[in-house]
Amino acid sequence: MSNYNESGRKIVVTGAAGFIGFHLSRRLLSEGWQVIGIDNVNDYYDVTLKEGRLGILNGLSGFSFHRVDLSDGDGVSKIFESSGVNSNVPVVHLAAQAGVRYGIENPGAYVKSNIIGYFNLLEACRASKVPHVLYASSSSVYGGNQRLPFTTHDNVDHPISFYAATKKSNELMAHVYSYTYGLPTTGLRFFTVYGPWGRPDMALFIFTKAILEGKPIKVFNYGDMQRDFTFVDDIVEGITRLIDKVPVANPAWDGMNPDPSISWIPYQVYNIGNHRSEKLLEFISVIEESLGRKAIIELKPMQPGDVSATFADIDDLHRDVGFSPKTSIREGIPKFIDWYLDYYKLSR
């Protein structure tokens, strides 16, 4: 358990009504934290799902919720002031406009949330002198990189989606705030997160729904796809352990041979993934087994902004906090299926 929580201290979680934010908030509340949740509850996907998550969190002791869009800088500042956010209150920033393909048609949504909203959050954190900002980046920043596994020590200057570009910009903005204001920041590159209460725009949700309805599923790159699928509980465990791992200046950083994952200032970037790249067709096979039904598969060419494979190098995460995600898709997918059937009151 984090040292920050020795006396039931507060923590800010943005995107608290979101998939990961909900699971993280519930975990922290169970450990005695006072969670200050922020979310605009937008309609990017089914709002009733977000309200359902909030309903659970609102029923737990220690949770306070603020329905505010981070693009409202004054609104964010007022929440920090009224909630007593100070040098003892860490911040986990998970709010964002998600989705790779949505950015092709709606790039402005990413600027508003992932750039302006993120800037407003950093400003509020700076003004409140918070001790640590952890923020969600994404495996999508690896873009054109083809060397596997993806490591944070490699350059990531070739994004292939606007979403990825905004996430890379978040890392750069964090670095500037760590340098200029001494604000300790930790970037978290998540790899294909799945699990109960997941997002309807993600593959597991889409595939499960289609299979149950007897509808075909689209499998891109003609099925030649691999993903580092990471169960949400493993993501939450990684975040929770890192809350207390406040980055410090690294004097070993070499400007002649710059390592992108660290710096001479309090800045760090980690991958949080399963360190296992699964074939998408195998992923679908496990869904079929869990549902007891066969999928109708339509093979399609690669989509713009997508990559054929992801695979996380998590050596740094294990070295620094002693944790490596271990939940296999054969363990995690049935948990999602059980939740899905119960939530929508369906049978196999």
Catalytic residues: 163
- Integer angstrom CA distances of residue 114 from 62, 66, 85, 269: 28, 19, 22, 17
100-106 CB contacts, 8 Å cutoff, 24+ apart? 100/140, 100/161, 100/163, 100/164, 100/305, 100/306, 101/303, 101/304, 101/305, 101/306, 102/44, 102/163, 102/201, 103/161, 103/162, 103/163, 103/305, 104/161, 104/162, 104/304, 104/305
Q: Which of 212, 210, 214, 170 minimizes the C-alpha distance to 190? A: 170
Q: 180-204: string of b/e by CB count within 10 Å (b at 16+)?
A: eeebbbbbbbbbbbbbbbbbeebbb
Asked if 36 and 81 touch (Cβ cutoff 8 Å), the reply is no
Asked if 346 and 263 touch (Cβ cutoff 8 Å), the reply is no
Q: Report helix, strand or coil for 18.
A: coil
Query: What sign does the CA torsion over 285, 286, 291, 297 have?
Result: negative
Structure tokens belonging to residue 175: 């670095």
Asked if 200 and 46 touch (Cβ cutoff 8 Å), the reply is yes
Query: What sign does the CA torsion over 133, 138, 141, 145 have?
Result: positive
Helices within 45-196 (DSSP H only): 47-58, 73-82, 102-105, 107-110, 118-128, 162-181
Query: What does the alpha-carbon distance between residue 343 and residue 192 come to, in Å, rounded to a whole number?
Result: 22
Residue 227's DSSP bridge partners are: 278
Asked if 340 and 207 touch (Cβ cutoff 8 Å), the reply is no
Residues 6+ apart with CB under 8 A from 206: 200, 217
